[in-house]
Structure 1
């Protein structure tokens, strides 16, 4: 064993019923480096890290793990933590009602004393907060912090446990650009202090900017480990998917009807306390058009479309027309009847029933299509789910698999299947590719192309500027609840969009609120 490696995993094999998740994987990380782990959803990244962090204990897999040259056999999460391994998942494990200090030392000896010395706990918490550059009161409740600050609290929590190997799973998926900068600077500081970081991300720009080296998994196998200096985004993509994606955004020119399928006029919404959230918004969506909505987090994009879909409880004013006919949508069931479908940005919370199988999730919003005499026809239900699974190129052991155990990309395909089974006229996609790999993204973009050719109108809400610019026919920009810019595909630039997103106006934009 060479002592330059903080971690070595050799010949790792992990089987689940009907599928081999990891097939003789080898993974080595040098001490004090940021090592990216890339691969499509379902490639085995999370399974490998769950073995390292003790979620899948020794005996449930084959192979060997060495930390600092010494073989380890973790039988529990605690044994992994005691060996200096800490993992921070995309879904943060913090208690919102507790203070920052309480979260930092939740399982610490300081909190187990018969009489808790709060002054000491707050002082210790402040020390760790200062170390990560987070200047907040340790008595602040976690629920009152932004997601970015919560992410930093998780890192500080890991450091209090003297973590030498820090695993971050999609750490920037829900962060603003400023929070991403803070996180990246912190990781660079930790690297300088000798902490080893394993960075799992689908955002290849971040990988190229931050990592020292990268390991790529595909179909449960190690494809390569390279210095980041030897790689490019295109090379990483090719190794991940096993083929070249000549264009990450496979936009296809298509005819767009002159007919408005959706028209919104002078639309405003108010929260339950009477505060105005959406300010007199007007826009239209044409049949066969992909209408992109860009803007910074908190701009009001999701709130606007949740309200239009009938999912917002506050007061709303304005007019909504579907196929030229004024409509009054008060609840999601009304929207579904009018031909709307809404793919939420939070698929686990709002898009799926994680404990149910693929078939039942797929038919959830279209039960009328799989019923005979008001009773569900199970044969028809299975046939419908099989048809959608084939169309979506779903990767799963069987349609009886529990949705919560699938990869993010496959979960997103099921959410899409659920809505497309209803044959919607208007499809609202809210951050449809968040947390999924480039291969799954590409397949979703191709589905979008097919749908608009059939005359479906698509609203694409995305915080990823390249995605909005790469797939939209027209782009609207929102800032603080208002539309501040509108651009045709050929007009749009990142600079123009960002100017409007930050509240500015650009004289080169098309007519706003047309």
Structure 2
């Protein structure tokens, strides 16, 4: 068995009204990639912040390198000094500086009190070559892809002689090629003896790269397992805390909804286009219907729904709702006609970070009604409590700042915000990205339930399987253009991928 590089025992952490961690154990071995899994709110981020000195633990011990004396860190810098480095999903580098400057920030080589630029660039080039990161050290960081920036952040951590490298959702913004490059780098670091904690929601990636998996649920340890000995359905069941038949049932429930899809048209687009992003586009949507829009990144999925919602300009064609032609100059016009839109980037376009859960829930309804019809405090509290209960939002109270909630619970708050406006059409752009399996299932079931009650839903997702489970039809886009519309027996992964790629599926051939 490999040497233990990190051991955490009996870790407790409490916040007002919330027990975030209760007696959690975690062990990381030298030269292993260890996936830390659990639903949002399971305690993963809290455990990492306790380890790295962001939070002070209430009880428990932390040991490094099989030492018998426990350590404690009162700041992230203290943890870094002991060889623990963290690379977060939001890359904490300076885009206006060069690659070399970011690699050696606050530890630049100096000569006669001045930065030795020649030496720093040479050291940076040597480090990048050693880690097989193909980028010019002189290049400005902002000119690098997100994937390269992620690897530069890792290179910086490694060069600071880390023994423990924590990667928090490192692949969420990467394309497939960048993920492969990152995994090659992780494997190289593993072979050098670095212990890597890999936090992710992508099950496929866990099984591709990790050696062991630790599962947390509701702030408690479920268990630690060898990846190869833990079947995927069992992992999901352990994360959710129950036998998981829900995903299999969703498609059957969705089929039942399809049977009652109305023949009436709610929304119709005829030759709708937006200069530079959407080519003339036709679409028909009925009550009780969930339709999916799929395609590669850059295919125009988000631009299409932003045009429908009035967030991007409509430069031609017609948009009709209940056979009445509409032109939305701004989102408020769409809101008043019963359209709601959950954007792709919830942190940038969705949540108001410094406002409470209550305030985030009621803000769309207040905007729709206008400043002259103020909603009373009593009403806002009742609205917030209704959707906290309905969507099972995990929060200490309705007045908790939304930025303190997990990503999945933030997403539920935004969904609650739009449901409060009682829309006829709900547009969901990547509503399950970056959230746990359990919350994904809840959101998928919610879509089916809302459609059963008569709502129309447009659903965009990068995960084809969840779209197949929930949608009655799928629109395929490529380069801003509709290239296919699939339904019934065509809704299988192979046909969808062939359509995205621009080919025609030939049954029996690959």
TM-score range with shorter-chain normalisation?
over 0.9
Structure 2: distance between partners of 1:445 and 1:235 = 20
Specify the SS of the correspondent of 1:298: coil
Residue of structure 2 in register with 1:23 after alignment: 22
Q: Deviations over 1:288-313 (max 9, x none)?
A: 1111111111112112212221222x
Kindly report which structure 2 residues correspond to 1:192-341, keeping only aligned pairs within 5 A, or say none: 192-248=191-247, 250-251=250-251, 252=253, 253=255, 254=257, 255-270=260-275, 276-312=276-312, 316-341=315-340
1:121 matched to 2:126: no
Q: Conserved in 1, the CA contact under 8 Å of 2:307 and 2:314?
A: no
Residue of structure 2 in register with 1:166 after alignment: 165
Q: Conserved in 2, the CA contact under 8 Å of 1:129 and 1:156?
A: yes
CA shift for structure 1 position 496: 2.4
Residue of structure 2 in register with 1:8 after alignment: 7
Q: Conserved in 2, the CA contact under 8 Å of 1:342 and 1:428?
A: yes
Residue of structure 1 in register with 2:504 after alignment: 506
Q: Conserved in 1, the CA contact under 8 Å of 2:472 and 2:487?
A: yes
Structure 1: distance between partners of 2:233 and 2:110 = 49
Q: Deviations over 1:275-295 (max 9, x none)?
A: x22222222222111111111
TM-score after normalising by structure 1: 0.93
Structure 2: distance between partners of 1:467 and 1:131 = 40
Structure 2: distance between partners of 1:505 and 1:484 = 10
Structure 1: distance between partners of 2:319 and 2:246 = 36
Structure 2: distance between partners of 1:221 and 1:365 = 36
Q: Which moved more, 1:469-478 or 1:98-107?
A: 98-107
Uncovered stretches (5+) of structure 1, i.e. residues with no partner: 271-275, 510-514
TM-score after normalising by structure 2: 0.93
Q: Deviations over 1:19-63 (max 9, x none)?
A: 110001111111110111111110100000001111114xx4211
Structure 2: distance between partners of 1:210 and 1:449 = 34
Specify the SS of the correspondent of 2:49: helix
Number of residue pairs aligned between Structure 1 and Structure 2: 499
Q: Conserved in 2, the CA contact under 8 Å of 1:424 and 1:456?
A: yes
Specify the SS of the correspondent of 1:260: coil
Structure 1: distance between partners of 2:91 and 2:221 = 28
Q: Deviations over 1:111-151 (max 9, x none)?
A: 79742222222222222322333322223222222222222
CA shift for structure 1 position 323: 1.6
CA shift for structure 1 position 369: 8.3
CA shift for structure 1 position 372: 11
Q: Conserved in 1, the CA contact under 8 Å of 2:273 and 2:279?
A: yes
Q: Conserved in 1, the CA contact under 8 Å of 2:108 and 2:116?
A: no
Q: Deviations over 1:234-280 (max 9, x none)?
A: 1111111110111436231212112222212222223xxxxx22222
Residue of structure 2 in register with 1:273 after alignment: none
Structure 1: distance between partners of 2:169 and 2:481 = 30
Specify the SS of the correspondent of 2:363: coil
Q: Conserved in 2, the CA contact under 8 Å of 1:370 and 1:381?
A: no
Change (3 A) 1:146 1:258: farther
Specify the SS of the correspondent of 1:217: strand
Q: Deviations over 1:142-181 (max 9, x none)?
A: 2222222222222112112122211111122222122222
Residue of structure 1 in register with 2:59 after alignment: 62
Structure 1: distance between partners of 2:280 and 2:361 = 36
Specify the SS of the correspondent of 2:137: coil
Kindly report which structure 2 residues correspond to 1:96-495, keeping only aligned pairs within 5 A, or say none: 96-110=95-109, 114-248=113-247, 250-251=250-251, 252=253, 253=255, 254=257, 255-270=260-275, 276-312=276-312, 316-367=315-366, 374-495=373-494
Cα RMSD over matched residues?
2.1
Q: Conserved in 2, the CA contact under 8 Å of 1:248 and 1:438?
A: no
Structure 2: distance between partners of 1:483 and 1:500 = 10
CA shift for structure 1 position 489: 4.1
Structure 1: distance between partners of 2:109 and 2:442 = 50
Uncovered stretches (5+) of structure 2, i.e. residues with no partner: none
